[in-house]
Structure 1
């Protein structure tokens, strides 16, 4: 008698052509529904319906925009995709079990990356520092703010020191205008408001958005550290999945 096995959830969700297109779009950047509508060329109702299915399946999450509270950004959970994809392979045959490994980072030339948030006192500095850590300083990483704060947030320095062993004492926030003459392969905004204010850096620059809430919002300095730990962990995960994208961005620019 034929033993019927359920189709793994990842395959059920990703096999639909439209949902696959949404996954592809969200694999590199966070987007709003209206942006996905324009990119995919389908109705908003249809896009929203399939996004809901992806959310219910645990592949996609949504965060309220800090720029416009009536809007939301959608984010693909690549860690969850990795787990489900590995499970799907193992369900077909034990030999297809996938053991996720860090993606190799072997760019053909120097990669220049800019991280942008509002104050350049937390999220963008954490991202810049962790990218340098993951690439052994083989990138030219920078960060700046559209409205920089006077000083670094103390919990940003603390989380990098305690969780990653990195000392950023002496760092000061800087304004985005100070980098106007530089060219970057990739510009990544980590703040919804900063995304709206960030200028273009040329047609060859790849733009990516990470909709990450400000860990310093809604609390005093004494009780924001847990939020900073969660934010740093999320940024660290995103950085690991960013590395192959940086390599392809550099190769595309050199063609």
Structure 2
């Protein structure tokens, strides 16, 4: 007869690296802040109440395993924005659960939450996406939010310096089943008196120029490179649409709990 305390199977002596890494109080707090919005290191330092050197150390640990990414600010190249890779976090935590017991493997959620009857009866949440030109990123985000939310979001977009809609943005959205060719670029001043539930800036420059909107809407920043700024051409717009799709799907899950 097996002794009560005898192991029935060989188990790892140590928890998965992702649990030990994210279980640190400072790193967990950093991840919580970055789950809400992309941030610069000086902002994170103030939010977590630690020295900048210590904050940078913990950010480096998270970047080292791909849970957090970083990119130079397009507004000020001396600054760096940090972003939480939610898809990687989901996958790594799912692996950690399965390492303890197969029954704890996280079941992947649907790509977008299906609204129930209560949710359909609620008014759509108003979300405003901002970038500089309102010619690609914010227009694509507006269209994707409307498409993926199934009416849960009433989206709008605007820019600080509107310019003509980029043809690659039209093309990439058409390939995703949405025609935005008839939309115009809008200055964010046109929405100055309107109320939104969330305002999301997609451009580092417009974040610094973003006005206040009535009703104190929740704000977030997604630091996404301008696909029209380099020489990559159309593939850069495809990558931007993919990034926006992932971000918006996670946004929809967050909105289900508001």
TM-score, normalised relative to structure 2: 0.90
Of 102, 120, 132, which aligns to 2:146? Answer: 132
User: Aligned partners of 1:117, 1:127: CA distance in 2, in Å?
Assistant: 10
1:179-198 map, 5 Å: 179-198=191-210
Is the partner of 1:27 in helix, strand or coil?
Answer: helix
Question: Are 1:18 and 2:26 matched, yes or no?
Answer: yes
User: Aligned partners of 1:166, 1:243: CA distance in 2, in Å?
Assistant: 19
Aligned counterpart, 2:81:
73
Question: Are 1:160 and 2:153 matched, yes or no?
Answer: no
Q: In 2, are the aligned partners of 1:13 and 1:57 still within 8 Å (CA)?
A: no
Q: Number of aligned residue pairs: give it.
A: 244
User: Aligned partners of 1:109, 1:39: CA distance in 2, in Å?
Assistant: 33
TM-score, normalised relative to structure 1: 0.91
Q: Which structure 1 segments of 5+ residues have no match?
A: none
1:95-110 map, 5 Å: 95-102=103-110, 104=113, 106=115, 107=119, 108-110=122-124
Question: Are 1:43 and 2:21 matched, yes or no?
Answer: no
Aligned counterpart, 2:17:
9
User: Aligned partners of 2:224, 2:237: CA distance in 1, in Å?
Assistant: 11
Relative to structure 1, the CA distance from residue 32 to residue 105 in structure 2 (aligned partners, 3 Å threshold; closer, same or farther) is farther
User: Aligned partners of 1:115, 1:72: CA distance in 2, in Å?
Assistant: 21
Of 58, 61, 70, which aligns to 1:53? Answer: 61
Aligned counterpart, 1:113:
127
Q: Which structure 2 segments of 5+ residues have no match?
A: 1-5
Of 209, 220, 230, which aligns to 2:239? Answer: 230
Question: Are 1:207 and 2:215 matched, yes or no?
Answer: no
User: Aligned partners of 1:214, 1:105: CA distance in 2, in Å?
Assistant: 31
| CA RMSD across the alignment | 1.5
Aligned counterpart, 2:3:
none
User: Aligned partners of 1:84, 1:246: CA distance in 2, in Å?
Assistant: 23
1:105 Cα offset (Å) = 5.6
User: Aligned partners of 1:233, 1:117: CA distance in 2, in Å?
Assistant: 17
User: Aligned partners of 2:209, 2:66: CA distance in 1, in Å?
Assistant: 31
User: Aligned partners of 2:202, 2:56: CA distance in 1, in Å?
Assistant: 23
